[in-house]
Amino acid sequence: MSEPQLRDILCEGPAGPHRMAWWQWGPSDAADLVVCVHGLGRQGRDFDVLARALLDAAQARGRPLRVVCPDIAGRGKSQWLADPQHYVPPTYAGDMLTLLQSLHQEAPIGRLGWVGTSMGGLIGMVL
């Protein structure tokens, strides 16, 4: 797969639902999942080069991999939040839990990896 698929999910936030976009690389039914979460002023497409490299390495091992790169609320293709005070790690962590639950329902997650830069690392620690 040379380009990711743009998908979205409805997340429940402190002021009601909002749409979070995310980019998927690789097959939807892969049991191995890597989630790549960007920093404060960035977006999910920042991980394009890494996602391609991870998929190439997984293919060489003969083990399918799914790489998911969300656009955190208010960034990239995701919806802005109505209240600026809701741009906080608990909101972001809740969105990631919603995403992980949805991904697990599509195809059970066997192994989960997390790549987070700056804020994305903080969100991973909150989880």
pTM: 0.95
pLDDT bin (cut points 50, 70, 90) of residue 10 is very high
pLDDT in tens, 19-68: 999 999 999 999 999 999 999 999 999 999 999 999 999 999 999 999 99
What are the beta bridge partners of residue 23? 6, 69
- What pLDDT does residue 1 have? 54
The closest of 86, 98, 90 to 20, measured between CA atoms, is 98
Q: Rounded CA gap, 32 and 10, in Å?
A: 23
